Structure formats: C-alpha cells, structure tokens
Structure 1
Amino acid sequence: MRKLNSRGYVALGIIVLIIIYFGGVIHYHSHFLPHTEILGTKIAGKSVDQADKILIHHLKTNQMTLVENGKIVAKDSQQTIGIRKDFKQPLKELARKQHAWDWPIKVLTNNAQTIPNSRALLNQKTLEQYSRQTADKLNQKRQPSKDAYLTYRNGKLITHKQHQGNQISATRLAKAISTSVDHNQNTVKLNATYIKPLLTTNMAKFKQAKSKMTKMGNVSGAIKIYDHKSLKVNRQRVQSWIKENNGDVQLDTSKIETFLDQVNHQYATYGKDHKFKSTKEGTVDVKGGIYGWSVDKKQELTMLSQNINDGKNFHRWVATTGRGYHRNGTDIGSTYVEVDIKNQHEYFYKKGKLVMDSDVVTGNPTKHKSTPTGVDYIWSKQRNATLHGANYSQPVKYWMPANDTGVGLHDSPWQPRYGGDWYLSHGSHGCVNNPPAFVAKLYKAVSVGTPVVIFNK
C-alpha cells in the first residue's frame, strides 16, 4: 500500500471539510443555526418542534426583568407579560429565513439570530394589561413630570422650566417590552419609559406662547365712564387676566367679567335708588323701576378681549345697555314726567322747564292697587288701545305704558274729578288716570324713552 504524500493529505482534508460542510448544510436546513436564541433561551441545533418544546418549558420560568438605574425593580415571567404559549409559527418563519449555507460563518462570528416577526410572540392585550397594571403600581410613590409654563408676577413674565419626573408610561413600557422581544432580550430599562413633559422651553409652541403673552401683557388703557371720570386699566390688571395652559394662551374671561361686575356695581344706575328733586316735596329717594343703565358686559368683554389679544392699548367710552346713561353723569336728566302720589299731581318738565301739569287719579290703595313707585320710562305710545286686566277691559284713546307690570299713563273720561283724596275711594287699578284734554297734549309732547318718576313721600 502506497503512502499518501503531502498533496494527498491536503486533498483528503479538503474532502473531509466538504463532507462536514455539506453535512452541516443538510443539518441546518431543518435545525436552527449556531448561537440562535429566543428570549434568552438557546435553541441552536434544534428543530422547530424541539425548539417549541424547549420554549414552552422555559416560558413559566424565564423572566423579563425591569431595571432602573442599574437596580432590579421587578421580575415577571414571560407568560405574565404576554408571551404566547405557541411558538411554532414564529419558529417556522425564523427557520425559513435563515441561510443554512452560512452555518460556518455563524459558528465563527457568534452573531445571534433575530426573530423576523417577534410581535407574533406577544399577546398585545395581555401585554397592554400588564404594562398598565405595572405602571399603576410603580407610579404610586413616583414624581410626575411637569410641563414648562408661564406666569406673570409683579408685572414680570416668569418662565417656569419643565421637570422630568420618574412616573412610568404604560404605553412606553409596552413598547419597550416589545423592543426587547424584537432583539431577543429579557431586560427592560425603565428610564426609557418615563412620562415626558409635554411642553418644554425649547419647543416652538412654548416660544410662541411666550411671545404672545408678552404682547398681551403690555396692553393698558382706560374706560371712560363720564366726562369727568375715567377708569384706568393698567398692565398688571390685564396680566392678571392672562392664563397659559400647555402652550395655549387665553384670557380668563371669568376674571374680566368679575371686573366688569365691579364697575357695574359702582357706576350703573339700574336697580338702584334714585335721588330726585321733586316739585313740592323736595329731594326724595325713589326706589325701584325699570329706568337705569348697566354696563353692557357682553360687548365690553368682546372689546376688551379684542384689544388685549391684538396687543393694542385702548381709551374709549364704556359700553352700556338700558336707559338713562348720560356722559355728563346726570341720572334722570332734565326732561321727565313727575307723578306725585301724595299730592295727586302730575308734571311734565322739558329741559328743566315746566311745560304742563295737572291733577290726576292714581291707584286705589284701599283695594291694594296702589300705583307702584319707581323711576320708569315711557317705552311705547299707542292710540285707541284697549287695556285688559282682571275682570275688566277698558278702551282708551291715549296709552303710554311706563313699567313692566302693565302700569302707564292714559286718559280716563269716566273720572268725574281729579286730585285730592278722590283716589282713596275711586282710584284706578294701578295706572295713572289723566284728564282727557290734558293727556292729549301730553301725548304729543313726550317721546318714547322719557323718564317717568312716580313717588309717594
């Protein structure tokens, strides 16, 4: 038998290597390549069925570890976090995508296999439930993150920087676990799952909010109440109305409304007592009535909001509603109808001068139908109207309603006399009965809106 020379040994070695290589190719066509792991479990060299059994066996014992700042916070079984009990489908997919021809490279490089579709390993409902419960449990004693925000203090706009807390986001935790599964890892770093501040000082939204608040906070102005009275609205008052929430800058309309209510309470005349200089009884206090003005809160709120949002200073007259507003500060004015119940007399003054007057008959107090006192105004003028009340219907030629209860001035041809104490026994249902000839002239002389002052001293 001839001995092999060196060339023969080389050839033999090559043949052996070829046999080993192709043997490996055949083997790894049905088995997993070297260094293949799933979720920390080694399945290299195993068939799909063998790997499935191994993974199922390790499912209850293998754990997912939650780590924070190098310390273990929690450990839970892979089954608890939502790993499925059936691994065959992802294993088959992994086996299909591996290249058996590369098995020597896998042996030498020690590169771990990856799972082509790792989400197939996770039951998303179970994972979300686990993440939510875990986050709720761990967050009980943790600090929440705080957004950056802006406030005005002593006339200056203050920037409050964001604060990173350590509360865990259930959504981010679920995503981190999925990522660990994607990379065949069994450790999750909780620091990456913290709930982040929604607004930080370097965000464009925050910078825009700061610019807007600066513009709005520089607004000031004055609301003119009367010729001699202006109400200043300084910057600090305006700044107290501005609020910022998550980068959204708005006006606190409730605070502006409170301010307008205060202005109304101080200056408006509606619903307040009126000082009136009567013809015979001197100065009297007249309570009630529908005459008077109020601050038009809706219109004022709209105008103030527009001024401030536009960053524009303002100086204008107050917006009012109702009757009786005079820029010179007078209340009833110098043109009015005066009804003196005590003296049963009526007067009409125009621009401070007495134009006409007459005895009248007011409501019958003995039948609890006294004419209601107050400062009212003629809000309509009607010819040939019919007045209706309880058990009566009375046509009149001249009708001038003056309040909101149906009381007004009208002719009364059925009255045989006026003035004196006639009203105590023959008074009206509440209206002011005028002599027909007198009221015909009065009807022509007065206009809608003329104040009617009814008092009984």
Structure 2
Amino acid sequence: MRENTVEGSINNEMPGKKSSHKKAFRIAMIILGVIVVVIAGVYLKIAIDYNTHFFKGTMINNIDVSGMTLEEAENELKADAKKYSITINFRGGVTDTISSSDIDYRYEHVKEVTNALEEQNIFSWPANYITGNKNEISVDMVYNEEMLTNLLNSYDTMKAENMIPPTNAYVSNKDGNFEIAEETYGNQLDTETVINAAKEAVSNSLATINIEDVENAYATPSVYKDDEGLTSTLSLINTFTSASITYDLPGGNEVLDKATTIDWLMVDENGAYTYDEANIDSKADEYITQMKAKVQKHTFKTSSSGDINIGFTVRGYSSDCGWWIDKASEVSQMLSELKSGTVTERQPVWGVAPFTLENNGYGYDYVEIDISSQHLWVYKSSNLVFETDIVSGAMVKERYTPTGIYKVAWKERDHVLKGDRRPDGSYEYETKVSYWLPFITDIGIGMHDATWQSSFGGDRYMTGNGSHGCINLSMSSVARIYSLVEKGTPVIVYYSKGCPLE
C-alpha cells in the first residue's frame, strides 16, 4: 500500500512541473520578442531619422555635419563662409589677406549636398556607426571674381612700377678682379598668372597661397651663376687679362697688359663683361697700327735743328729705309700670346729691324746728312768725329736725294758709277770714283768723291750742279768718311727745312 502511495505521489507531481517550465519559456519568448521589437523600433526610428540627417563622419568642405539636417548643414556652411579668409604670400615677406566680405565669398545651395543626404543607405547606419567611415564632400563656394581681380590689382606688389625684374648672372669686374656676379630674382610678377592662381585657391577654399610656389608667377633669370657658357667666359677673360707683353722698342719699353686689354673686352651698361673674339681682334689691330705709326716716326735728334721725325721716302722705290713692324705677323703673335695668358718681354715682329734699340734705334755710330744745309756729320760712340759740306741730288723728281734712314750697304774702292742703260747696251754715263759707300741700293745712291765739283755746300744742288741723287764729297772728305764708317753703319738723311718733292 505504501508503495502505491509513493508512486501516486510522484505521478501527481510531474504535471505541475511541466506546466511551470512552459510558462517560463513563454515568458522568455515574450521578453525576447519585446526586445526584438524594441530594437527593431529603435533601428527603424534611427533609420528614419537618417532620411533627414547626415550619417556620422559626413564632412562637407572639412566641416563635420554628422547628425545635422540639410538645413542645419547648409546654415553651418553659410556661417563658415563668413569666417573665410585667404592669406597671399608674395616674395620678400610681403603678405596680403583677403576676407570673405572683400570678395562676396558665400555658400549657395548646391545639389551635391542634397544628393549626399539622399544617397545615404539609411539601413546601413549601424555599419556606418561602428566603422566610423568618413564621407568627405567638396562643394564650391561662390565669390565675385571681378572683386577678387580688382582687389589683387590694387596691391602695390602687383603694380608694374613697383616690380624689380630679375637679372642674369654675369662676369663682373670687382676691384680689378673678374668674377661671376650671381643672378638676382627680383619680384616681377605675371599678374594674370597670379590672379588665376588666386581664383583657383579661393575656389578650393584654401587658407593660404604662396605665390613663390606658383609656376611662372615670377619672372626668372635666363642665365645662372653655374652656367657653362658664363664660367667659360670667365676663364677666357681671366686668362686673357693675365697676359703681359713688354715690347722692347727703340727709345724705350711699352707694356701691353691688363690696364690696356681690359678695354678690349665688351662691357654693357650694367657692367657685364663678355669675351668677343672679333672685338679683341679689332682692338689688337688698332693697337699695333698705333705702335707701328709711333715707331715709324723715327724721332731723331739732329746736330743743328733739334728733334725731327724722319719718314719714309715717297720717291717710288722699294727700300728698307728705316725700320717698321710687320703688322700682320705681330698681330697674330700678340693675339696668340694674350689668349694663352703669356707673360713675356720681346721685340715686335719687324718687317725691318732697327739698327739697335739704343738712341731711338739709331745707335751711337751713324752718318747724319741734312740736305737743306748741305752738310754731313759722322758720329762715333755719340761723339762728333767728322763733318763736311756736300752736294746732293738735283731738286727734280727723278734726281733728288730722298729722306730716310738707311745703312751703308758695303764699301768699295775704285768703283765705276753708271747711268741708265741705253737700248744699244751702253750707259748714259760711266764715271770712275775712288771711294764708293752705297746706302740706297735700289736706285744706286751712295757717298762718293766728286772731283768735278768745284765746291761743296751752299745751294749748288739747286742751281744746276746737283747729282743724280748721290752725296758728292771732296776726295779728302770721302777718304776720311771711308776710314771711319763700317758696313751697316746707319745713314740718316733729312731736310731740316722740308723737302718740296716729298
């Protein structure tokens, strides 16, 4: 009986426990359902809100409009536009600032903002919230381009009269030393480029623009200090001006160095030097032309008439009368030495060299003949050792004794003087002389005895007793001269009162 009672008791309890479990399950399901409904409601509520509000992380022109309505976002953009300004930095530390009111800078509704809101997937807001992805939107602000242009043009920096153009690097002469002066950049602007760059910067709502960084805004030099052509020019100039030629000339030295050659370089109004071959060649030619003319003045200190200049004869024959510079050869050698920086001392390239460099090229042993006074002097070691009267060539074009600087070609005893050769082979005259000292060999002029002359000196050469050009001397005089002078002795012939035929 007890067993039955126990079993019955157990059986009676089981239905009650099952009912309790079911009840708890139902409650749990109800709670879960409520939670789901609440979550769904919240989800839908937020999703619906994002129909009119921007997602988290939405940026318009760098302004965070997260959670804002379209109107709120646009109001924020308008407010921000009023605070806008842009700073323009020019070269040299010059800065100007433009505010929004200066150019009527403002926000006006644009479809991009509306589209950004409408294109939001409102049901993806949880993912947006969790990831925090940013949606950056850029919209153009509105401004008055004419106001911006006028404002920029009003700046002193943008006015032509205040602009300093750039300068090229160049070779300069600083205290006598050549060096490269560096280029300068100045502040010359291309105003159109500046205005376009400013418009672009304002359109992009930039806070700063550095005009230095804008391509082609500033004019630039075309030649810089490291330019190969410029460094080459400097090298040429330094080599050229380092050269020095000391010319040993009759009467003294002449130095050609930087003091002169610097003026052979081209230099502009800004002090920029250039090495111009053609100009240098031309200056070299001028220099040697002047030297040649000076040397050919043949200044001579006469015995009775002071200093005179003895020029070349014009009688129409070729003769090494005097000394002269071979211009073409000298110019060529001089330029070669200058352009290679040579330092040297030398004589010029002579066409005919002087007898010596002493006593203006005449030396101290010479024969002096003054046709005007019909007189001759012989000097040895600067001392007068003999003098005498003469008879020179008749004063007609074909017979006068020409001015010049000559030398005794040779000495000869018992020589036969001959006139022009006739067609039959005979000579116009044949005259034997005891002493013959020729000094103009081209036309047979020299010093000799003239026993046919009754006297010497005075004006006999002008009154029908003149020679064919030779210097007529008495026998005793020519014998003395013959004993005093040697081959190569200078013979200086001049007219102290001028020669009407030259």
Q: What TM-score comes out, normalization by structure 1 length? A: 0.45
Q: What TM-score comes out, normalization by structure 2 length? A: 0.42
Structure with max Cα Rg: 2
